[in-house]
Chain A
């Protein structure tokens, strides 16, 4: 297993729902006109609160500063774990679960705050630039499982809707352009602004990323219906995922150990998961093959 530091230098930003219209032009350019920008790393995630945009410095130049744009101060570097093929293929678990013990836990132990971004193709672990030199050295030598110190226990929210993670041939991106624009920018939920409450049954969550030419999409089944079926790549088993949203209050960027807190128990139970951090909250997608109840129990167990 190799840990690579990719040569992107990333900024984490957030666009408020009301300010989106100011940013539609640069966003559409970054999504559809790949040849016009030198941006190689772009991720847009819509949550009920805001739009989280993670992008490299080339792409960041496109975004005009305004009151609607919140920018996290530091530069983030993406880490990527590549297995050498001789990794144990016995474990069914994928994604965050697989790297929980080897990377995330040691990072947490060193009090390094991480920002997770899972895609169809792989998982990116973003660490802020100032924190990368020490953990990298540390991660290389430390594969041991450590108990994670966590001060705060964050409440979790598990909405009803199911999500799927998909990919797309970048060449066919123009074919779904209108649908994508529709879903991204014109999907104001019927209950406008009313409930960003704890008891959300359905959560509005949509993620699009275009990283090194690879497209990854995370959407709920509702949104998926709007897309033509033959263009999107998915797994042949057609698996669907349930979301666990972590945090009652916006989490901020300083706290460490949150990802470890969630991924560790999942790893212990061998449950596959995706994990997508946004500006305010973290989101884990867990395999529905384990009942939600189990998941809840496991998480509750570990938290207590």
Chain B
């Protein structure tokens, strides 16, 4: 028969280290650390850290159906056992010497009609009271409340009864109960309500949950439901009760007892146990039959006064305390957080702590915070100076760059890379490219007005398209400058090629193709190798040597450059010379890429410059310029195409030189954004594009919007506004239309638009001198009907801003803009009003009022204007 019983588990209410397993007998265990388990014989491992030791076994009470532990300290280890025949027996474990206990142990409480005892509950305060829930009998009550201190029934027990029950020691039998409740019904579960310990009892009757008030047993509150098993009160929220029926758990609020507040998702198998976590708010654990999973329901975020409409949010998850074996029962530890012991049908026990769900939140900056149990962790990016820029998160970089006004330098475009920190070669290349593009386009705009449109778009369309359109290439064979030796290196010229060289930055704009200024600037920046290479490619070997010498002698110069210069000076165009042989083999050992390609150039056959063109450490700009000079019309587009595709694939910003600000460029930028997430650079770069196609690309719009959102999230509202202004200058289509108008109370016309908006009107407002009026009163009256404008709620003056009558004209002229900026009224004088109560006044006055108040300044208006504005209390995190 014992096989039919599954072990249940019960924690001692007062000893945090003891629990009882009950199946056919009661076994008391003590839980301890596993450290010294070797010394203790018979210690059962519960987990990696804990073991259990069997302290006592009690097999006095057969046919055990339910057990309840006496809730008070004294007498400890007193248990009430409910039996299959409805008797309740008091028993104890390992307490042989306790006299107080002795008096009670063995006492039996017998119902009039035998039937199964389903549940037992001690009254937590009046601990003499023990409620027993029994199966139904046609003529008897199902809830009996016994007083364990009541004296034994002294009258003789009927002999028949002794015979039937087989009870010899009838002296300890109590048959008179304190209260009888629930006639002709079954009680499947019950619990005392903590709200009114002594008086209220909740019982799962046959088809309803009933609350009995012991002060008046004839009255009860009840609700019809099937969920009558396992009623249990949330220890943290005394009005919340869980009960279950088959696979479904119902959660009740005792204040609104008519129907369950909600039911949890139904499980396919019937539930066997439902228990609130005693150490954690709103955590309910449920166990279904033959399952190895305990399901947890976190009702932490349930709004406390349950609204009718509000569906409470419950987070459901499951834990698997012991990997494979089926769980027979579990019990929360009474004090250790989220800890439970589970027991399997074959009495294998497992100590288990439910890991707290981790909730995690990113801040809009890079900080990360998470909460686990009762701990809160914060993880912030190491902002120390030691952190290399490359290791910083892109968001941090973008924040820093935004603060440095990155992207806003429209005059010296190349300077933006300095604003970006100046340490990213790709950004540097990008901004120089943009710089050259804008430069050239400005130049062509000035010089060649006629062909403007054609040429203009060509400049923006990148070298790839420029070389494709190349025609009329001429080939020259120049001498090495400073020597009369003829080179066998053909060099190609065309208009487009020189445009490409301009875009590469090698030659200045204009007709001359002198690289000297470029060399000078490179020398200034200390890029000796690069300067030397550029000089060499312009066939000026002497200049190259001179540069190298200069570099060697410069401060912190590399003396090896002298050696290179020496090697260079030995150049001979003899095909089979020792110099050639050595250079072509030894150049590979050179660490500096520019030095390497110099010798590659000198040692390679004309037209076969792969060693130069595919040296990836060399800037794309220089390789492209080189190609434009030395590749013929067939080779050049092929090379450029190949390089373009490489760049696009890698998302290398240097490739913008090739693609220009075209759809190709957007493709390239897309892979760059995919790789880095740098929407900032993408936005600014694309805005620089010639007004037109690229800005309409949805990807570009997406980057721009995302960047704006990012700025908003960082509370960089001023930066965002600056960006919008910047954007509207470069892309007039993005200029937002006016969304708010102030209309006159009297004539209903907008007060901001005057003369130019309504030219047909007979009376031009200019004649009344609205904008340039010497009399201030004009400003504060409607330009339409000349009635006064509303008064400020605080200063009671009529409102009105001096230039509200000056509308922007269609053509955005930079200079006009500037002057208008100056003319704009002080923000303090602007109209402001609450959208809710429509009261308002001068912005400055309102600002200072709401610094100290949340209510509308107009007396008798109770509008909490300030609280309606969710962002009103946030402070921008960027300075103006």
Contacts and interface: CB of A to CB of B under 8 A. Distances in A.
Interface of A: 4, 81-87, 89, 94-95, 118-123, 167, 169, 171-172, 175, 214, 229-230, 232-238, 272
12 contacts: A82-B184, A82-B185, A85-B182, A86-B220, A87-B183, A120-B113, A122-B136, A122-B184, A167-B114, A171-B4, A233-B114, A236-B110
Among A81, A85, A89, A171, residue most surrounded by chain B Cβ atoms (within 10 Å): A85
A171 B158 CA distance: 29
B185 A236 contact: no
B848 interface: no
Contacts, number: 102
A132 B833 CA distance: 72
Interface in B182-227: 182-186, 205-207, 210, 212, 218-220, 222
A225 B163 CA distance: 12
A169 B63 contact: yes
Given A85-B181, A172-B84, A238-B164, 18 more contacts: A82-B206, A82-B207, A85-B183, A94-B138, A120-B137, A121-B135, A121-B138, A171-B84, A172-B63, A229-B163, A229-B165, A232-B114, A233-B116, A234-B164, A235-B112, A236-B113, A237-B161, A238-B158
Contact of A121 (B111, B137, B182): B137
Contacts of B180: 89
B116 A169 contact: yes
B814 interface: no
Given A95-B139, A121-B137, A83 B115 contact: no
Interface of B is mostly: loop
A172 B2 CA distance: 10
A236 B165 contact: yes
Among B63, B158, B164, B185, residue most surrounded by chain A Cβ atoms (within 10 Å): B164
Interface string B54-71: 000000000100000000
Among A83, A87, A232, A237, residue most surrounded by chain B Cβ atoms (within 10 Å): A237
Given A214-B135, A236-B165, A237-B161, A83 B184 contact: yes
Contacts of B750: none
Contacts of B115: 120-121, 167, 233
Contact of A236 (B84, B112, B183): B112
A215 to B, nearest CB: 10
Contacts of B175: 236
Contacts of A89: 180, 183
Contact of A229 (B4, B139, B158, B166): B166
Contacts of B140: 235
**Top 6 nearest A-B pairs by Cβ distance?**
A233-B114, A94-B139, A238-B160, A235-B113, A169-B84, A83-B184
Contacts of A118: 138
B645 interface: no
Interface in B44-95: 63, 84-86
Contacts of A175: 1
Interface residues of B, number: 43
A188 B111 CA distance: 36
A172 B4 CA distance: 9
Interface of B: 1, 4, 63, 84-86, 110-116, 135-140, 158, 160-161, 163-166, 175, 180-186, 205-207, 210, 212, 218-220, 222
Contacts of B222: 84
Nearest to A119: B138
A87 B181 CA distance: 11
Contact of A171 (B1, B86, B135, B165): B1
B677 to A, nearest CB: 61
B136 A85 contact: no
A75 B110 CA distance: 41
A85 B138 contact: no
A238 B138 contact: no
B220 A233 contact: no
A173 to B, nearest CB: 11
Contacts of B206: 82
Contacts of A94: 138-139
A172 B183 contact: no
A84 B220 CA distance: 9
A238 B84 contact: no
Nearest to A89: B183
A144 to B, nearest CB: 22
Contacts of A167: 114-115, 135, 137
B634 to A, nearest CB: 87
A223 to B, nearest CB: 15
B831 to A, nearest CB: 70
A236 B207 contact: no
A82 B164 CA distance: 29
Nearest to B206: A82
Nearest to B136: A121
A208 B158 CA distance: 28
B185 to A, nearest CB: 6
B1 A172 contact: yes
Contacts of A120: 113, 115, 137-138
Nearest to B173: A236
B219 A230 contact: no
B563 to A, nearest CB: 96
A129 to B, nearest CB: 22
Nearest to A87: B183
Contacts of B113: 120, 233-236
Nearest to A96: B138
A61 to B, nearest CB: 24
A140 to B, nearest CB: 16
B271 to A, nearest CB: 17
A237 B183 contact: no
A85 B113 CA distance: 17
A235 B84 contact: no
Contacts of A122: 136, 138, 184
A303 B663 CA distance: 107
A101 to B, nearest CB: 16
B586 to A, nearest CB: 90
A207 to B, nearest CB: 14
Given A85-B220, A172-B84, A230 B166 contact: yes
Contact of B161 (A81, A84, A233, A238): A238
Nearest to B65: A169
Contacts of A238: 158, 160-161, 163-164
A230 B114 CA distance: 11
A175 B1 CA distance: 8
A114 B243 CA distance: 37
A238 B184 CA distance: 19
Among B85, B206, B218, residue most surrounded by chain A Cβ atoms (within 10 Å): B85
Among B85, B113, B135, residue most surrounded by chain A Cβ atoms (within 10 Å): B113
A199 to B, nearest CB: 30
Nearest to B137: A121
A123 B184 CA distance: 10
Contacts of A85: 181-183, 185, 205, 210, 212, 220
A89 B220 CA distance: 15
Among B163, B183, B210, residue most surrounded by chain A Cβ atoms (within 10 Å): B183
A187 B783 CA distance: 116
Nearest to A216: B138
A167 B85 CA distance: 9
Contact of B183 (A83, A95, A272): A83
Nearest to B219: A86
A206 to B, nearest CB: 19
Given A169-B63, A171-B4, A236-B110, A86 B218 contact: yes
Nearest to B5: A171
